[in-house]
Structure formats: structure tokens, C-alpha cells
Structure 1
Amino acid sequence: MSLLFSHLRVHQVFGANTDVGKTLLTSALVRASATKGKETYYLKPASTGPLSDADDEYVKRYAGDHRNKIKAHCLFRYNEPVSPHLAAKLAQADAASTTPSIPSDDTFIGAIAAYVRECSSRVRISGHMYVETAGGVHSPTLSGTTQVDSYRPLRLPTILIGDSRLGGISATISAYESLTLRGYDVDAVLLFREDYYRNWEFLEPYFGERGLKVGALATPPEKHADAATNFTQTDQWYQKLLSPADSALFDILSHLDERHIRRLEELHSMPRRTLDTIWWPFVQHGLYKNEQDVNVIDSAHGDVFSVFKTSTDKTDSLHTSVLQPQFDGSASWWTQAFGHANPSLTLAAARAAGRYGHVMFPQCTHTPALKLAERLVKSGPGKGWASRAFFSDDGSTGMEVAIKMALRAFSVRDAGGLHDGQDRQKRRDLGILGLKGSYHGDTIGAMDACEEGVYTCEWHEAKGYWFDPPSVSIRKGRIVVSLPPAIASETQDGKADIVGGTVDSTYDVEKRLTTPLADTYRRYITGALEKLSQSSSSTLAALVLEPIVMGAGGMIFVDPLFQRVLIDVVRSRDTHSGRIPGDWQGLPVIFDEVFIGLYRLGFETATSILGVNPDISVHAKVLTGGLVPLAVTMASESIFDSFYNDKKADALLHGHSYTAYPVGCEVANETLGLIEKLSKSDEWLEAQNKWQTAELVEDAQSSSTAPRIWSFWDPSFVNALSHLDVVEEVMTLGTVLAFKVSDNTGGYQSHSAQTILSSIGRAAVDENSSSPVLGGAPYCINYRTLGNIAYFMLSLNTSKAMVRSVEDRIWSALSAHRR
């Protein structure tokens, strides 16, 4: 919701501390802007204390000869002269008060944004605006959130008022670091030219080295006991600051204007420069040649990008922010857990960066890595089966590690010591067993673990066998298990679609293991593996699965019963006579949980759904909350033992320069702590309970021990969506919503989903007018499609109001294409 106007320069004023002259210096800026002929606006979002002492009244009082050019305003006013959060509480507690409930941060920021936009609409030619905060950067706002976090969605360019008193150097630098850590652009630092402590002498070069303009202005006169004398002396001080003999204040004003112009110029130039220099992933550049095809993201906060958009209507563009809110509809390629720029994660990253930077890892350890490994193995998704954690850079490299582990484990135990180099060709022919539609990353080895498809390259050499899996979806309000032809032919009636049941019962795998469909799956899998063993010269050495949902392959919600039966059959075919209890069986089983793990689908790990543990699993994406890359491959002790002896050549000779990156590990630890709190929150409980009483799950057995199946998306919305003619099927779990657009061609290269949802890529007024979502601002949705499959993804803490608003936008787009 960042705001930026071509004709109105807006700056937010923070103070390094209380009583540093913030209002005095802001008033000087206001008066200087008016002196330069600018239409000038001043906003005090929250004021406490009597009206006579209010900062907006002070600005009016010292407007000089420019009263007609200066508009000063306050949005939230409270009588008690205390911190805003306390003043709001006291006002609410007053039995005789008609004060409404304490404004939330969304309401507070929405009111500021609405007022700034209103001021912009009034400006005829060119204007300046100053938004003055209260106290220091971490002073509380009305809700109790510190200002530096509360104001962050606006991300207005900032002026920091430094502290010229004893200790002010430290306070000013600390305030500056708090602002920059949260992504603010500090354009200038102002403070008094105090002649005893002379803080400005130190701060000028300190900030100058960082590209900041420092303005040291004459100190004001001491407050006089006589009000009239005090006014005269103070007004004379302002006149002196604005005199031609003292250019410091106007130098600051020119600097702020220049920064504003340079920012606009940078944004305008970025699309062309991007097209000339950037090579995008997963994009055919031949289809996107125009500057308007480039989505310029100026910043991001929560679930929203602030993107640069130019208007073809020059008159309209003068009064409209060139930055537009854009909902991050894919959770930035499935990485976001708590939205963008989460301060807890940012501080965790800074904490580790300040303590370690990066340190090498072989034969070393450090607290963030050790804590993360123990947490994942002992109490996280590896609980009960994993004993080791191996760090790498991202999901694809994590899968490379997993495949190496599995192939070595197989070759050591079941392939006659192939790791000793006895038969190099046989080792090269080892393959994996998986599912069609799988995707495990873009590194060459991970590609080779999938059948040939649109993601593979010239060097691709598919090594293995892939079953065509059955899938789960909701069609016309009913749960459907769709069987591929090879499996359908194995059933009694030969039907491809099995209709009935509920979401809960479909994911109650333990109960379904005794059904006729489970028997069909067993017969089909067993028969296929037997035929394969007789006809293929290659040897299958591992089972690799994306549990529950195969993401990049088209958001395929695989029937969990099929995956469970596949694991059981593979493990039951173990012929190794010397296996000891606890060893892997049949084939090492790898769970690629890079996408689905850590509550992306509403549960921590797929083991709770499938009812079995893997031998190796990989986690990334949500692991670090979407802030930095990191992957962890966990393995059982029997897998680890395959590499364990006194020969260096038998070690897992795989690594990355940034293995166990301390910043990533610290952020991951913070992420897991935040997830643990969220999993017990009222918001999650409310969403879970709504699904438990929904029509789609109404006949679920209350006595079932299966994990609770739920989604952040409203069940009634999902049900209604499934009845639209333009929607062939829909499915949801946790944060994920996916639906297939009716399209005879289909496939990854189809543009049907992209076309039918095109309207949500353009700004539209939020239809939920009672909600403070984005302050009521028009917003668009950034979304990606997989051919005729459209999917949307939330963070783990996306607000209920935002989810409902996005649902409305999706519904409107699809309803417009009803047949």
C-alpha cells in the first residue's frame, strides 16, 4: 500500500527520541515548502493531550504568512497527554466516553492512506506533504504496535529528526538502523546545531558516508513563560531559518525534491532496462516485449507488492499514486509463510549476520545450525524416524542430496557393492520410481528423477519409471477420485471417476486401506513392478514422491491412498535377508516436501496423512518464511550408515559454499517458532472449525484419528466455485486453492486460465467495503497459472478479510465467463 505521487512529494517524519524538536523542525519544513510556493499539507495521524498543545495546531499557529497554503490535520485525537496506546485505552475505559474501540493497525494505516490520497486529489500543480509520527521510532501507536512496524505498509520516504542532546549520537544512529532494517528510505537527517555536545559534527560525516543528507539547523530559543513573548521569539526563529542568509533549510528542501524526482525517474526507467538485461525464469521473452509487461515491484509488505504502474490518462496519473497494491497470489513461488518483510524474520537475519556473516561448515558447528537440526529431527517433521540433517541451498539442491543418499544406500546394500566401482555402468543405470507429473527442481540430477517434460533440457536422461497417479478433486460440490485408464481398467465397473465421500474421509488413509480401491491399487502396482522387473535392464533404486500435491506438474492433488499403497508395496518387496530392524525396506523412500511441508497444506508433514515415514525427506521454501534460501535434507540412521566408515571416498562428498548458512538457519528457527504459535491461534482454529461443519465434510466420522483436513479458503466459496460451468474441478488444502479451467486443449502450454482471470490482474475497488483491507484502495492480484490450471496461495497468516476479498475477485472474474 505504499504511496507515491508525481505531483505531491510526501515524507514521513520520525524522531530519534521524544523531545528532540520533531514538531519544531517539521513546522520549519512545512513553512519552507509554503514559502517556495508549494501547496503544503501536514498530517498528525494520532495526537494526545489538550487541543492547545496539539502538533497540528502548532503548525497552524506558526504558518506565518502562508496560512492559505498550509493545511494541517489530525485523524485520531485523545485527551490524555500520554503515549498513544495508553491514551486510546484510557478513552475506551472511560464509562462516559463514546469513543469507539481502539483502531487496529489496518484501520489506522488505512485512514492515513485515504487522507493522503484525498490531499493528492486537491493538489492543482505541485505540493509537499509531511506526516509526523509521535515520540521515537519505537513509540507505540494506538494498537500498541511500535510505530516503525505500524507505519511500514505505507513505506513513505523518511526524514529522521536526530537527537542533539547528550547520548543523541547513539539514539540517532539506533533509530536510523531500526528504520533501514525495516526497509524505509531515509532521505535526510535533521537536528539542531547545538554548540555544547555538537552531535551534528559527528553525524554529518557518519551519515554522509551512507549517502544521507544531514541538515544542522540553529537551535530554537528557550520557551518563554509569557505566551505572547514566546510566540514572537519562536516566529522570529522561523523567519531566520527561512531567510536568504541561512540556506540550510532550503538545501534540505531541494535535496528532498531531488530524491523524489530521482525515485520517479528510476521507476520509469526500470521496465526498459529490465527488458534489455534480465533473463527471466519460466518466461518466453518472445511473448513479453513491451515495457508494460514488466511488473516493477518497488517494495513488498505482508501479502502485498507495491508495484509501479503508469497511467495512460495524464490527468488521472497526476492525482493517483504511481504505486499500486498487488496481492501476491502465488506466495512468491510458494515461499511466503508470514508475508513479506516480516520484522521478526528480518531481525533474526540481522542477528545472525551480525554474529557470524557466513562461516564454513565441514567439521564445524554453530548455534543456529545445531538448534535447527535438532528441532527438525527431534520435534519437527523428522520426529520418530530421522536422525540426521544435511544442509544445502534450496529445494532442488536438497533433492540432489536426497537422491545421492538413496542411490548410495541402495548400491551398498542391495546392489552388490556397486559403490566400490565394480560396475560403473550398472551404477549409472540406477533409476528411481515416481509419479508422472513430478517435479523436483531444475538442477540436472533432479530433472533426471522425472520423466521428460516441459522443464527438462537437452542433457535430460530420464532414469526410472513413473506411475500415472489417480487424483482428488471437487466437482459440482462432490468429491471425485479420478483414475487413469490403466487403473480404471482394473476396477469392476471400469469407471474412471469414483464419486462420493467427503474431504475428511478421502484423506483418512488408514480407514481406506481396507477398501476395494486399495486392493485395486495394490494389484495394479504389484503387477506393474513385476512386469518392469522382467522387461527393464535398469534397476530401480529409490521411490521419490511429492506427497499429497504435485505442484509444478499442475497442482495435482494425488489420491493419498495410492501413495500409501505404493510405499507399502515397495517396502513389502524387500528381499534383503540381512536387514536389521529400523533399516529402510525395499527401496529408500524420499518425500519431497519442499512445497507441501510445514503447514503449506494445513499440516506439518505428509507423514501425518499417509501414516508412514520416509527414509529421506527434504524441506525448503516455508522453512525460512520466504526470506532467504535454505534447504534441509533429513535422513534415517540406516541411510546415514551407508556412508559411514573410515574411507574418505565413501563419505557424502556433496556440499555448497553456503552450507548451513547461519543467516538462513537463524531465520528458519524463528520461522518454526512463529509457525508453532500460529498453529494454536484462534484464526487457525476458526478456519478449521468452519471446515469441520461444512457440507464437504459433514459425514466425516468424528471418532476418526486421521488428522484434521482444512483450508484457509472458505468451504462455501470452494463449493460454489466447483459448480461454475467454466470450472472443471477445484481442490484446496491449507493455503492452496487450485482449479482447472474447462479447456479442450489443456496442458501446460494452454493460456486459458491466464486469459479467463485477466481482470484480476487489473486494479479494482475492494468489494468488501466494510473491511479495512488495504485501506479500501484499489488493488490487483499477481497470479501465475500452469496451463489451464489456476492456483492461488496464501501466507500462513493472511488475514481473513484479505482472503474473503481475494475470493470475491476470483468469483467475479470467473462469473463473468459463465456459459
Structure 2
Amino acid sequence: MSTVDGSQVESTRILTRTRLFPFPNLGMASLYKHLRVHQIFGANTDVGKTILTTALSRASAAKKFPVFYLKPVSTGALDDADDRHVTRFGGKASKLIHAECLFQYDEPVSPHLAARLKDEGRVEVPSDEIFIKSVAQRIRDHARKSGKAAHMYVETAGGVHSPALSGTTQIDCYRPLFLPIVLIGDSRLGGISSTISAYDSLVLRGYIVDAVIIFRDEYYRNWEYLTEYFKERGVHVSVVEPPPPRHSDPTEDAKATEAYYESVVSPDIVNGVSNIVDYLDVRHAVRVQDIESMPQRTLDTIWWPFVQHGTVKDPKDVTVIDSAYGDFFSATRLNNERDSSKSILFPELDGSASWWTQTLGHAHPSLTMAAARASGRYGHVMFPQATHIPALRLAERLVHKGPGKGWASRAFFSDNGSTGMEVALKMAMRAYTQRNGAGLDNESKKRLGVLGLKGSYHGDTIGAMDACEEGVYTCEWHDAKGYWFEPPSVGFKDGKPIITVPSSLSTTEKAHTVPAKSLSWIYDVEDRLHTPLARAYALYVSRALESIEKRGQKLGALVIEPLLMGAGGMIFVDPLFQRVLIDTVRGRRSGKSTEWSGMPVIFDEVFVGLNRIGMESTGPLLGVNPDISVNAKVLTGGLIPLCVTLASKSIFNAFLSDKKAEALLHGHSYTAHPIGCEVANETLAQIDKLEKSEEWTAAKGKWDKLQGEGERSKVWSLWDPQFVSEVSKLPKVKEVMSLGCVLAINFEDDAAGYTSSFAQNALQSLKEPSPEAGMSAAPGGAPYGVHYRTLGNVAYFMTSLNTKASVIRSIEDKIWSTIGN
């Protein structure tokens, strides 16, 4: 096919030097009622993407729709550019077609190479972030300017896995946009395989493939097979007559090309391109209708967790999450007053890391591939007295190199944190009763309780709830079994780190604060073991244990959430108190022995483990190891449920016997399911890389500066220490604390507690995105909302482990603009 030279037709071009918007990658919100957008991917190179996209553009214009054709990146001679071809062959309604290219390179090679060759490398290659923001901005511009029903086609370059400018494959680079796809099939030899492979790759990354278009080739007849293949998968296939061979004479070639487009675009042709346009319009309408109907359908059928349905009756209060990528949802809430020129969807920060599970952001391709790899190899297989590579590798990693290093002997698999904690309790109680069974009858064994901390939360299954003090999370069948200490806590107030000692530990009737030398000093547990506060803690714990013993209450395990108690209110516990508690329970200062003493110690690290708070395990910082620990949430990157309970050899031996009835008779149908184990292995591999990343190094460096010259902080956070300090100075803020990915803001409120709505009301404006014009607004005006959760008067925010500093800074600006005024 020939193209017109630059002297005849000019198409709009955007300079490759695009400015970096001061906000995170927000390309996801690109669904408009009036602007139907489809992205064109090819199953391979040279399959006719531009020919068929030109035909689609021409057919749309013939139906009187304004058409926006966008070629984000083009390589090769300007005269042969695809956007110029679309402009030239737009047909009688060509005035309705606006064609443009964002990044044009002269060399006719792959985009990633062409970008590096430009000006011999003196021009910086645009990052994926800049590239996608540029595309998203063009879509927004056209949606805003069109003002009426219009069509837009975004044509990619090469095949689905061809590199983008940065070298990232196109299929991954474009994923934040989440545009519905038209896949151009390959009609040549081998085209069946390449088309199906391209489709599978798109689906594997979550794309919606609305249609497959392929040329009719009477020799290979790929269209016959592919039509039936995709029919079984509910995907529409359109077969279009191929273009005529190129003519050596440019004038004759142009005439033949024009005649070809006129023929395939004609509305009189059954299953022609005109009908494809109609079908794409229908698919667009169905998607919009689904999104708009989902809130009411949800209210009619769903029972949410932790939601009082009596307070949620309006469909406008239901958040529809259409997709998710990285740290953001692409979401909507119904609003009848919404400007029709704006996207139905808007970016919404996943401010709670999806209930503390997200590790590497949503839809991470490595985790998706890991899940697919194990699914394809195994599906699910029985595990008792069997093994498979994903489970064995994960167990070895956790026991010998991970949080179990130096103390754990075995890994027991279950399906989530709550059940993993029940496994831990079974292990601990068996070990305790085996050692102390002579003095316990059966009824006494059933009444064994736990020692823990007030505000603890270990899950919503009955056994896990019984290991907590009665509170808002418990139910009528709850039977609290144990004793719970009120823990001292750590935080920042007025820019300085403090330790808050509760009234139960205080010489007065009220809680009081103890100033700290530095945050690093607070977490230097070994150094603090000989302080007066440590002696006060030990005396308090010893007296409480003596009182418990006198009452005849039997306790079989110490169960703690080390360092940070989550659902109880994001309480950062003074690590010295937990160390003293463990030492007192065990009757020794050292935690080096492999045999448990006093009672088994369980670390519930479901929330904090695996670097959520900046360390793989809390044991090294506390200076003691548990006898049993539980890991979940971060373990599988937020993709799939899985839990591992680690146990020492002495705990395992409590179940070791030649009698079946003395085994740990606990299990789940999906125990050690290969998909979860393989995803966990990949997650841990990615975390290993993050530990050496520049982002983590830079974040740690900021917290080191707090400690003084030459001193390194024992703890750190991805959140900026200066931001934490400044927020702690606000009058309405009682205390602020941050470790790793977690930021918690405790607001002053007389009605403090889970039932308080203070934090929810104080941060309400965070939910709303700023106007799209805010792309050039001042900090705090970022055009995204924040999906956040509160715990009464405590607001918390959580990032993924790989959230970029630029994203976190923008969140900090948004939080500050909300509560700092």
C-alpha cells in the first residue's frame, strides 16, 4: 500500500519531548459514554493492522461519527507513516477523521531500538509512565473536545509482545490503559498459532478482547478454524476480504487502494467492516450498562463483610471496581450529575493495599504467569503424604532462609491467616498439654486459655476469635479464653518519638508518655533491656501471671501480633514490652533454646511478616524467636489465598507418634495448592530484588538521617519521615506512626474506638478525584480518589512493597491538603 508524501497531507504530531506530569500513572480511567475507544493489537507484524484500522476509521466516519485515530509510536520514513495513510484514505467523510502520532522515529526498526538510535542516544528514551500518560491525555482531550458520540482507534506497532519504547513489551506497557481490544488475526502460514497465542497472552493479562478480525485467505483458510475456535470462547470473529496486490505505479496503487476501502466499508456487505463498527458499539454499550447496573444488583444480592447494610442503601455509595493495576483501582461511583465529557471510571488509590494483601501491586505480570504456570502443570493435587515442587520449594525457603531461619523445623500449609492461626493454636495446646497433661483433666484441657494483648485480632473463625478478648469482632458464640495485657505503644507526637504507657502500667490513673532518645533507640531492644522501664514491665507481667495462677486459670500459649497490632487499631506496640513478656513467660532472658519453656510462643505475623513493616520477620529485632509463627497476606502478593504456619522441632515432636490419632488432624481441601505455592515463590523472589532496590535504599537513607551522624535506623518506612513528623504536629492528631508500608494517623476523639466515625469523616474528601484539569494543578490536587479504610478514630494507609516514591509523595500531598489545613 502506498502512502501520501508530507507535501500533500499533514497529520497532527506531538513532540517526543513530553513533559512528565507531577502525578502517578493514571492512564486507567478511559471509559466514556460518548467516546467509544478500542485498541488494535496484531497477532504478528505485517498482518494488516493499519489497513483494517483505516477501514474501521473510514466506516465510523461514514456513519457520521467523528473519528480519532492514534498511532502512539511509529518507526520508519515519515512518508510511510500509518497516520498519514489513515488520513489519505479516509473516504468521503475524511474531514471527520483526525489522525496523529505521538512518537515518530525515522529508523524502520523496533520502537525500543529506534528510540535509542535517535540522535545517537542524546535524546532520553521516554519511560513507560511518560508514554502511557501521553496516550491517556490524548484520549481525555478527544473525549472533552468531541462533545458527542465519537469513535477512537489506538493502533499498536508489531505484535502483542513487540517492545515499546522502553523495551517493555507492548502488552504490558499498555495494560494501565485497559482499553478493550480488537485483535487482528494472522491469515498467513502459521497464523492460527500466532493468533491464538496472541489472544491467550491478552486474556492472561486481563484484557477484554471484543473482536478478532482476519483477512480471508482461500489457500491457508485460517479464518475457518479461528472462527470456530473463538466462537467456543464467545469472541466475535469478522472475516474481511484482503487488499489487492500493490501496484508498481503509485497513482494506480492509490486508485486500487481507494476502491478496496470503498468495497469493504460498504454497508451493503454482509459481515463487512461497517457491521464490525456496529458490533463494537454494542460491546461498548453493554460494558457501560453493566457498570451502571452493578451497584443496584450488588445491593440486591451481596452480603459484604464489615459493612452495616442498614447504612448503605443508595447505589451511589457502592464503588464499582472495573479493573486494577499497580496501586490503583479503575473505579466508579454513580453520579447523575457527572460531566458527560469525563470518564465514567476514575483512578482510585488502593489505600489499604486491598486489606493488607497487595505486595507488588495489582495484576503484576510475573505473579499472573506464576499462577498460570502452576495451573497448567497441576491444577490442584492432593497433598497428604505427597509433595510437589512449588510446595517443597516454598517450605524450604520459609524454613531455612526466610522467617523460620534458625528456629523452625516444619512448614504446615493452610488456606488463610485465620485458619493458619487455628493450626498454630492446635499445635501450641497439644505441646502444652503433652508436657503438663498429668495435672490436667479433659475439662481443664478444653478450658485452656491464651495470654495476649488487648486489641488483638487473629481472624474471624471461631477458634481465632476465642484467642482474643471480647470486642466488636466477636460473635454470640464467642468464648474468650485467656488474659490480655494492655500494651504500651510507640508513635510520633509533635514531631518527636514517644512511648505511651497505659494506665494499668502507670503510677497514676491515666496513661502517660515517655520521651524517647530516638526512634532507633526505641527499637534497640537489647540496649533497653536494662532500663527502669524494662524492670517495670517485668514486674507488671510477673504480678499478673502470679494473679492468674492464684485464680486457677490455665494458659497454654502466648499469642502476639509482634510490633504492630492491625485490626485492633494499628497499635505500634513498644517492642521492649513484647520482649519482656516473652522472656518472663519463658522464665529466661535468652530465646536461644530450641525447646520451648513456660508456654509455647506464637507470632501472628499474618499482617506484619515478609517486609510489610520493613523486615522479613520480627524475631531478629525482638531478639527472640517464636515457637510457632504464621505468615499469609504478603506471602502470595495479594493474588491468591495461602497461609503457612511454621513450627519448631519441639512443637512438631509433640505430634510425632506411631498412633494416627496423635497426628495433627487438621487440613483443607486445597492444602498447599500448587497455584498458591508457585505464586508465593515468585512473590518472595520479587521481594528479594526489592531489598536491593534503589527505592528501598533511598527510603532507608531518609530514616537514617533522623538518628544522628553516622547512626543507622533499626527501622524504616517508605513514607517520608518529615511528612510523618509534620502530621504529628497537627492539633487534631493525637499520634502518628509509620513502619515499612504502613502509615497510621490516630485522631483526637472523645469517642475513640472502632465505632468512632471521626477518621472516616475527617478524610471524606480523599475519596473524590480532583477535576481532570488538575493534571497541571498544585500538589494535593492529584486527579485520583483514595479508597481507604479506617479503624474508628484511626486512619491508616498502606502501600505495596514496590510502590514508587513519586506515588507515595503524591499521596502524602493529598493527605496533607485534606487534614493539614
TM-score of the two chains, using structure 1 as the length reference = 0.94
Q: Of 107, 124, 139, which residue of structure 2 is paired with 1:116? A: 139
TM-fit CA distance, 1:804: 0.6
Backbone CA RMSD of aligned residues: 2.0
Q: Of 644, 659, 678, which residue of structure 2 is paired with 1:632? A: 644
Alignment correspondent of 2:421: 399
- Matched ranges for 1:158-177 at <5 A: 158-177=181-200
Alignment correspondent of 1:503: 519
Q: Give, in whole Å, the separation in 1 of the partners of 2:582 and 2:772.
A: 47
The answer on 1:714 being equivalent to 2:714 is no
Alignment correspondent of 1:563: 578
Alignment correspondent of 2:783: 778
TM-fit CA distance, 1:166: 0.5
Residues 377, 634 of structure 1: 8 Å contact kept: yes
Residues 106, 773 of structure 1: 8 Å contact kept: no
Q: Give, in whole Å, the separation in 1 of the partners of 2:511 and 2:187.
A: 80
Residues 440, 449 of structure 1: 8 Å contact kept: yes
- Matched ranges for 1:305-320 at <5 A: 305-313=329-337, 316-317=339-340, 319-320=341-342
The answer on 1:756 being equivalent to 2:762 is yes
Alignment correspondent of 2:322: 298
Q: Of 794, 798, 801, which residue of structure 1 is paired with 2:806? A: 801
Letter in 2 for 1:557: F
Q: Give, in whole Å, the separation in 1 of the partners of 2:614 and 2:593.
A: 32
Q: Of 540, 554, 572, which residue of structure 1 is paired with 2:587? A: 572
Q: Which moved more, 1:281-290 or 1:84-93?
A: 84-93
Q: Of 220, 234, 241, which residue of structure 2 is paired with 1:218? A: 241
TM-fit CA distance, 1:508: 0.7
Q: Of 736, 761, 776, which residue of structure 2 is paired with 1:730? A: 736
Q: Give, in whole Å, the separation in 1 of the partners of 2:585 and 2:321.
A: 47
Cα pair distance change 1:187/1:533, threshold 3 Å: same
Alignment correspondent of 2:4: none
Alignment correspondent of 1:18: 45
Q: Give, in whole Å, the separation in 2 of the partners of 1:766 and 1:783.
A: 21
TM-fit CA distance, 1:243: 2.3
- Matched ranges for 1:373-522 at <5 A: 373-416=395-438, 423-489=441-507, 496-522=512-538
Alignment correspondent of 2:627: 615
Q: Give, in whole Å, the separation in 2 of the partners of 1:286 and 1:547.
A: 36
Residues 449, 556 of structure 2: 8 Å contact kept: yes
Q: How many pairs were matched up?
A: 792
Alignment correspondent of 1:236: 259
Residues 309, 324 of structure 1: 8 Å contact kept: no
Q: Which moved more, 1:565-574 or 1:297-306?
A: 565-574
Secondary structure at the aligned position of 1:387 is classed as strand
Q: Give, in whole Å, the separation in 2 of the partners of 1:550 and 1:758.
A: 25
Per-residue CA shift, 1:131-160, capped at 9, x if unaligned?
000000011111111000000011000000
Q: Which moved more, 1:264-273 or 1:564-573?
A: 564-573
Letter in 2 for 1:9: R
Alignment correspondent of 1:547: 562
Alignment correspondent of 2:203: 180
Secondary structure at the aligned position of 1:145 is classed as coil
Per-residue CA shift, 1:516-568, capped at 9, x if unaligned?
11111111111111111112x33111000000000000000000000000000
Cα pair distance change 1:71/1:769, threshold 3 Å: closer
- Matched ranges for 1:641-652 at <5 A: 641-652=653-664
Q: Give, in whole Å, the separation in 2 of the partners of 1:812 and 1:380.
A: 40
Letter in 2 for 1:789: V
- Matched ranges for 1:40-51 at <5 A: 40-51=67-78
Cα pair distance change 1:243/1:777, threshold 3 Å: farther
TM-score of the two chains, using structure 2 as the length reference = 0.94
Alignment correspondent of 1:67: 94
Q: Of 202, 226, 240, which residue of structure 1 is paired with 2:225? A: 202
Letter in 1 for 2:283: R
Letter in 2 for 1:543: L
Per-residue CA shift, 1:307-362, capped at 9, x if unaligned?
12344336x22x11000100000000000001000000000000000001001111
TM-fit CA distance, 1:580: 13
Residues 210, 283 of structure 2: 8 Å contact kept: yes
Residues 2, 156 of structure 1: 8 Å contact kept: no
Alignment correspondent of 1:690: 702
Cα pair distance change 1:767/1:197, threshold 3 Å: closer
Secondary structure at the aligned position of 1:566 is classed as helix
The answer on 1:321 being equivalent to 2:347 is no
Gaps of 5+ in 1: none
Alignment correspondent of 1:365: 387
Secondary structure at the aligned position of 2:438 is classed as coil
TM-fit CA distance, 1:573: 6.9
Cα pair distance change 1:771/1:178, threshold 3 Å: farther
Q: Give, in whole Å, the separation in 1 of the partners of 2:774 and 2:529.
A: 45
Q: Give, in whole Å, the separation in 2 of the partners of 1:151 and 1:592.
A: 39
The answer on 1:28 being equivalent to 2:55 is yes
Cα pair distance change 1:23/1:571, threshold 3 Å: same
Per-residue CA shift, 1:469-521, capped at 9, x if unaligned?
1000100011111111121129xx99721013111111111111111111111
TM-fit CA distance, 1:121: 1.3
Q: Give, in whole Å, the separation in 2 of the partners of 1:60 and 1:127.
A: 17
Residues 775, 782 of structure 2: 8 Å contact kept: no
TM-fit CA distance, 1:777: 6.8
Letter in 2 for 1:720: E
Residues 785, 791 of structure 1: 8 Å contact kept: yes
Q: Give, in whole Å, the separation in 2 of the partners of 1:528 and 1:94.
A: 71
Q: Give, in whole Å, the separation in 2 of the partners of 1:762 and 1:417.
A: 61
TM-fit CA distance, 1:725: 0.5
TM-fit CA distance, 1:251: 2.2
Q: Which moved more, 1:452-461 or 1:72-81?
A: 72-81
Per-residue CA shift, 1:30-65, capped at 9, x if unaligned?
101111111111000011111101110110111121
Q: Give, in whole Å, the separation in 2 of the partners of 1:165 and 1:116.
A: 33
TM-fit CA distance, 1:571: 0.6
Q: Give, in whole Å, the separation in 1 of the partners of 2:511 and 2:368.
A: 53
TM-fit CA distance, 1:799: 1.1
TM-fit CA distance, 1:417: 8.1
The answer on 1:332 being equivalent to 2:337 is no
Q: Give, in whole Å, the separation in 1 of the partners of 2:550 and 2:596.
A: 24
What's the % identity of the aligned pairs?
59
Per-residue CA shift, 1:754-787, capped at 9, x if unaligned?
001001011125999689999x972100000000
Q: Of 536, 542, 548, which residue of structure 2 is paired with 1:532? A: 548
Secondary structure at the aligned position of 1:388 is classed as strand
- Matched ranges for 1:138-177 at <5 A: 138-177=161-200
Letter in 2 for 1:332: S
Secondary structure at the aligned position of 1:327 is classed as strand
Q: Give, in whole Å, the separation in 1 of the partners of 2:487 and 2:197.
A: 56
Residues 488, 494 of structure 1: 8 Å contact kept: yes
Alignment correspondent of 2:297: 273
Letter in 2 for 1:805: S
Residues 369, 660 of structure 1: 8 Å contact kept: yes
Cα pair distance change 1:494/1:627, threshold 3 Å: closer
Q: Give, in whole Å, the separation in 2 of the partners of 1:523 and 1:94.
A: 68
Residues 4, 323 of structure 1: 8 Å contact kept: yes
Letter in 2 for 1:78: Y
Cα pair distance change 1:722/1:320, threshold 3 Å: same
Residues 779, 813 of structure 2: 8 Å contact kept: no
Residues 771, 801 of structure 1: 8 Å contact kept: no
